[in-house]
Amino acid sequence: MTLTTLTRRALLLLTTAWLSACALKPADTLPPPIVFVHGNGDNASMWLTTVWRFESNGWPRDRLVALDMPYPLARDADDKPQAGRSSADEQMKFLADEVDRVLARTGASKVVLMGASRGGITIRHYIAHGGGAAKVSHAVLGGTPNHGVWSNPKFLPNSEFNGAGPLLTRLNNQGGPGIELTPGVKWMTIRSDSNDKYAQPDGLWIGAKGTPTNVGFDGPELKGAENVVIAGIDHRETACGPLAFAAAYRFLTGRAPVVIAAAIESRVVLDGKVSGLGVDNKPGSGNAANNLALAGATVEVYATDAASGERFGPALHRKAIGADGLWGPLAVNSKTALEFVVSADGYATTHVYRAPFPRSSTLVNLRAERIADADRDAPAMVALTRPRGYFGIPRDEIMLDGKSPPAGIAPGVAGVSLVKARLADAVPRSVAAAFNGERLVGRSWPTAGNHVVLLELND
């Protein structure tokens, strides 16, 4: 009997046990609902693989909820309105309302909150100042700048990310100097040893190379919490990586997960939200990312040859996007590579190539893009993007269009999540990428035709 067979049988037994519990026992004897809170500028899709891992270890799918904050970018000064950006209080209110909805829907008495980066600040703010202490059993914070990305009262003094600013000062002195935790909740932090771009003693990653940040590698830790250090992981991997999942799962259950990789389903159903850019998704309102529904857009999905990126026939799915922003559902085989095409007024035609999805998900979010000014003179451009982590040299093996490593990745701390290949001509052709064993192939499209091409990793 193979290890794979044993793993599948163990998973089946575990899942069956959960299902039996669902059928026979009250809500609070089930695994608690987990609400996932993404980071600055991100969206719910960053939790895609984490949700798969929890599901694959028997967590009920309807008890795993990932949020899409409408305006995910923080203000430069938290106390001053800024178009297209959100305050700490606005983020807290959105989370509080979602927790109440989850509790009402599931019948549970408390939720688990798991946050990435800024999402962890939102969680702390909600628990300390928004009534969350009575509604949260556990809080897991991955890469959260709990003591700031910098700590300097003279540089952006009212920023949410300033350790010397009002919000973090208040959170780190609850009920007395140095009291950093709200009681009644079990706390875990997960951090990198030294590879988190936002927990660095030097200001390189905030545009101030050579200037001390007054924050160390241990900035994400909290006094009194279970503080986990994982060597080599980057800022996003502190929340979304496999080792972070394993640590969180053990913290919540008291045991190691049965599997780390996603258990494969033969037939998958996919869905997600289409969003855009700017204050209101309209041209001229800026290029900052938002998570608002891009109503009026059109999405087409094609099955592709995983080896060449070529389409297999006509679109499998086509939908005009409504007020809810959802582009699906689409049922496909879990061995099918896909090309998603987003078209909308004021945007480039955006082609997103993805490797086969091993499991169903409602977190396949898409964003319409615009061609960057620096790319307009290129015959064609193809970008490789890693939404759940960063590229690091020499840590990672990365290839894009035959170049390894691609241009744009400096050795040292992993801090770049998107790299581009500038193609010499506009003739459509296959473009291959690879990242630590994951291979992905798409097709180039001419820039002059107003096309943006993304090869998006699933890892």
pLDDT number for residue 28:
67
Which of left, alpha, beta for 133 (phi over 0: left; psi -120 to 50: alpha)?
Answer: alpha
**CA–CA dist 429, 442 (Å, integer):** 8
Q: Which of 355, 354, 381 is nearest to 449 (CA)?
A: 381
336 and 215, same structural domain? no
341 and 314, same structural domain? yes
Structure tokens at 293: 């529904």
Pairing label, strands 430-435, 438-443:
antiparallel
Give the predicted TM-score (pTM) of the model: 0.93
Residue 9 lies in a domain: yes
C-alpha distances (whole Å) from 267 to each of 294, 307, 332, 360 are 28, 21, 6, 8
277 and 243, same structural domain? no
**CA–CA dist 459, 456 (Å, integer):** 9
Residue 402 lies in a domain: yes
Element (H, E) at 66: strand 64-66
Average pLDDT, the chain: 94
Strands (E), 171-230: 186-192, 202-203, 208-212, 226-230
From the centroid of its chain, how far is CA 389? 8
Measured CA angle at 230 (ends 395, 121), to 5 deg: 110
Pairing label, strands 186-192, 226-230:
parallel
pLDDT number for residue 19:
41
**CA–CA dist 411, 244 (Å, integer):** 24
Pairing label, strands 366-367, 274-277:
parallel
- The stretch 328-333 carries a mean pLDDT of 98
Domain with 37, as residue range(s), is 3-253
243 and 304, same structural domain? no
220 pLDDT higher than 60: yes
Question: Band of the pLDDT at 225, cuts 50, 70, 90?
Answer: very high
- Torsional sign, CA 57, 58, 60, 61: positive
Question: Band of the pLDDT at 17, cuts 50, 70, 90?
Answer: very low
Question: Band of the pLDDT at 8, cuts 50, 70, 90?
Answer: very low
299 and 214, same structural domain? no
287 and 204, same structural domain? no
Q: State the CATH number of the domain containing residue 178.
A: 3.40.50.1820
Would you give the DSSP letter of residue 396? S
Q: For the residues of 254-309, what is the DSSP string, one character each?
A: SS--S-SSPPPPSEEEE--BEEEETTTSSTTS---EEEEE-TT-EEEEEEE-TTT-
Q: How many domains does the chain have?
A: 2
313 pLDDT higher than 60: yes
397 pLDDT higher than 70: yes
Residue 420 lies in a domain: yes
399 and 288, same structural domain? yes
Give the tens place of pLDDT for each residue, 245-294: 999 999 999 999 999 999 999 999 999 999 999 999 998 888 999 999 99
Map tokens 């927990």 to a residue. Answer: 199
1 pLDDT higher than 50: no
226 and 374, same structural domain? no
Element (H, E) at 127: helix 118-129
